[in-house]
Chain A
């Protein structure tokens, strides 16, 4: 397999919990706890999980918008997490992010032209303002907006149109990797389909790689080459998309898939497979972190943490996947270095 564009190894981002007059650290929210994955060149990895699993923190850590405590993020041979501040700037041009709520990520007082051109200006792309304006026009028509829209303000657009503006803004600085953090989650289905199609075309055209962060597994099947499922700060399963959907290897993945309601009128079959609520990431359960909600839990799960065992093309953090001869993927790091 060719070298991936991004290879994350053992990423750990904990947030301190401070209490009292002296603001002593009394514990940590283990938002991201030993996470490894890779994003192929021109491909898509979907990072899937429910609220609070740490998926957004992963994206923010890569861009060093929060500071991870440990781990590596190899991007094009360079470790993003070890770069000096001057060097991180250029990498931030190459890694762009599109958030869930386009209203919150666009400055309401900035015309669309200036919002899209801001990044170009900052990175010295385009000779002068008029050239940048031309580029903005081209980008807007590429995301299927009227180029004249550049003279309007964000509030004049619908949610789907604003998300197109955010995509145009990300593309303006010619990134190689785009982190899509719940980029289509706030949109109505008919609009969601438009944006997913657009992202897919852009990937084809420009050879973009996507790290697609979402809570919605059904979106992922259409877009992703590989899926990583996150639970309480850890990746519990990783693998090729179709395989994960057809033969999930971790009970949590199975539960997530079973929780997607079907629109087939003959298949009214939704049954809750995952019990209870997510425990707090500041005090994750001992042993397997999923054992408090798992339907297949046994005694060992409550005291010993499972490693990341090889399953087909990927792996799962579950004792049920342990092979009798002990041939495991070893640590997640080994798995990721495949």
Chain B
């Protein structure tokens, strides 16, 4: 049997709003197997980052998490006492963020911060932790790692800082790496370097990755499976080839079509009309209804059920469900 590194069932994360709690993540379920890369894709505000924070119980106040189950490496995250939860963070599941500048402490050297992370999870003397850090720096492609150990974050470029973050995340050999827009703040040539590094490290160590991104190109480069999120809910999920090559949900299809670069000058780009509705405007049914070119009568009122296709390709859409029956 395959080992599940992460299991999420019916996760909802709510924040108080003026008319009662608002679920910024609603009824989200997914799993990640050992060595697998799952991409959680969606546009700003869809709840993808909040999903990641919820898994590690890092949701800022006054947000509240509810779920039938969240398991990381077989441990029930929801019932763990705080000290044990701290051990899960970093050791079982580590996280890297979009902004390496704000994730690193500006008054501590890069090396010292990685040493600190290592010694939180392992009994290791300072010299050994330092040697491990230099090895890690070397492994993530930081040139002249011994010298860079003593560099402060402001002395490092954006790409180098993200490499330090990756070194820190990998320092305790986590089973799961949560990468939240890891290359969004970087220039394209540096992004290519970091994606290549993540791919190589993933292959070598077999770490599972939950990749949070808005960029379907990055999904294509790294992911095995893809889950697409829209207005707090998952709308489509499947293998990378299925989502990018045979998307069924009108939202996923629209996203793929609106990416520029394939069209030629003069041809208008396909756009998704309108804007993502604010939570107070969410219809009880499918939340994409207002922007969907194929919406039917019942779409706005009833929540779409799952329609299942081959290879775990799941779509939540009334139109797709109706066509599948036919």
Chain A positions near chain B (C-beta within 8 angstroms): 50-51, 158-161, 188-194, 196-197, 200, 215-219, 221-225, 241-242, 255-256, 258-268, 270-278, 293
**With known contacts A264-B220, A270-B195, A259–B275 Cβ distance under 8 A:** no
Contact (Cβ within 8 A) B221 A270: yes
Interface residues on chain B, number (Cβ under 8 Å): 47
Bound Cα distance from A192 to B43, whole angstroms: 11
Contact (Cβ within 8 A) A225 B265: yes
- The interface centre, meaning the residue of A159, A191, A258, A266 with most chain B CB atoms within 10 A of its CB, is A191
Bound Cα distance from A160 to B271, whole angstroms: 13
Contact (Cβ within 8 A) A218 B261: yes
- The residue on B at minimum CB distance from A50 is B187
Whether B321 sits at the interface, judged by CB under 8 Å, is no
Contact (Cβ within 8 A) A277 B188: no
Bound Cα distance from A51 to B184, whole angstroms: 13
Chain B hits for A274, CB < 8 A: 189, 192
Contact (Cβ within 8 A) A259 B192: yes
- Which of A215, A218, A270 is within 8 Å of B260, CB to CB? A218
Bound Cα distance from A259 to B196, whole angstroms: 11
Distance of A154 from chain B, by nearest CB (Å): 15
Bound Cα distance from A260 to B241, whole angstroms: 19
Chain A hits for B120, CB < 8 A: none
Chain A hits for B256, CB < 8 A: 263
Distance of A164 from chain B, by nearest CB (Å): 11
Contact (Cβ within 8 A) B275 A160: yes
Chain B positions near chain A (C-beta within 8 angstroms): 43-44, 143, 157-160, 187-193, 195-196, 214-221, 240-241, 244-245, 254-256, 258-261, 263-265, 267-273, 275-276
Contact (Cβ within 8 A) B269 A263: no
- Which of A189, A225, A256, A267 is within 8 Å of B258, CB to CB? A189
Total A-B residue contacts, Cβ distance less than 8 Å: 133
- Which of A158, A159, A197, A215 is within 8 Å of B188, CB to CB? A215
- Which of B158, B195, B255, B270 is within 8 Å of A261, CB to CB? B195
Chain A hits for B160, CB < 8 A: 277
Bound Cα distance from A52 to B283, whole angstroms: 44
- The residue on A at minimum CB distance from B214 is A188
Distance of B180 from chain A, by nearest CB (Å): 16
- Which of B158, B191, B220, B258 is within 8 Å of A259, CB to CB? B191
Chain A hits for B189, CB < 8 A: 50, 255-256, 259, 272-274, 293
Chain A hits for B187, CB < 8 A: 50-51, 215, 278
- The interface centre, meaning the residue of B187, B195, B254, B255 with most chain A CB atoms within 10 A of its CB, is B187
Contact (Cβ within 8 A) A193 B240: no
- Which of B159, B191, B268, B275 is within 8 Å of A197, CB to CB? B268
- The residue on A at minimum CB distance from B239 is A265
Chain A hits for B215, CB < 8 A: 261
Chain B hits for A190, CB < 8 A: 43, 254-255, 258, 271-272
**With known contacts A223-B265, A262-B220, A270–B192 Cβ distance under 8 A:** yes
**With known contacts A50-B187, A274-B192, A189–B259 Cβ distance under 8 A:** yes
Chain A hits for B214, CB < 8 A: 188-189
Contact (Cβ within 8 A) B188 A259: yes
Bound Cα distance from A110 to B214, whole angstroms: 32
Bound Cα distance from A225 to B241, whole angstroms: 34
Contact (Cβ within 8 A) B259 A197: no
**With known contacts A196-B260, A277-B160, A265–B245 Cβ distance under 8 A:** yes
Distance of A29 from chain B, by nearest CB (Å): 16
The 8 A-B pairs at the shortest CB distance, nearest first, are namely A261-B217, A218-B261, A193-B258, A50-B187, A190-B272, A188-B43, A274-B189, A193-B271
Chain A hits for B193, CB < 8 A: 272, 275
Chain B hits for A267, CB < 8 A: 220
Bound Cα distance from A161 to B275, whole angstroms: 9
Chain B hits for A258, CB < 8 A: 192
**With known contacts A161-B275, A190-B271, A261–B261 Cβ distance under 8 A:** no
Contact (Cβ within 8 A) A277 B157: yes
- Which of A193, A255, A264 is within 8 Å of B270, CB to CB? A193
Bound Cα distance from A196 to B96, whole angstroms: 32
Distance of A236 from chain B, by nearest CB (Å): 13
Bound Cα distance from A55 to B235, whole angstroms: 39
Chain B hits for A221, CB < 8 A: 260-261, 263-265
Extra contacts besides A193-B270, A265-B245 (11): CB < 8 Å:
A188-B214, A190-B272, A191-B275, A193-B260, A193-B269, A197-B268, A219-B260, A221-B263, A264-B220, A265-B220, A277-B157
